[in-house]
Amino acid sequence: MDVNEFLESDVRVVNIGLESFARELGERGVPTVHVVWAPRAANARIRDLLAKLGS
């Protein structure tokens, strides 16, 4: 596929992370797959603090 064919093709999205972005695209009829993802904490102390925030 050349660049012109690519730019004229239908948009399909794999969204990683921000769910509201995927929801907005879906509401506009854009085929979207949302992947729940967040970066890992750098160490155990930070991971424990983040777990407390999530509860």
Over the stretch 26-46, which tens digit does the pLDDT of each residue have?
999 999 999 998 888 889 999
Q: Read off the pLDDT of each residue in 8-23 and give the average, rounded to a whole number.
A: 92
Would you give the DSSP letter of residue 41? P
pLDDT at 55 over 70: no
Cβ contacts of 15 within 8 Å, gap of 6 or more: 21, 22, 25, 32, 33, 34, 35
Give me the mean pLDDT over the 11-23 stretch: 92
Output Rg (C-alpha) for the chain, integer angstroms: 17
What is the rounded CA–CA span in Å between residue 24 and residue 14? 13
Residue 54: is its pLDDT beyond 80? no
Query: Which pLDDT does position 32 carry in this prediction?
Result: 95
Q: Is residue 30 a contact partner of residue 13, using CB atoms and an 8 Å limit? A: yes
Mean pLDDT of the chain: 89
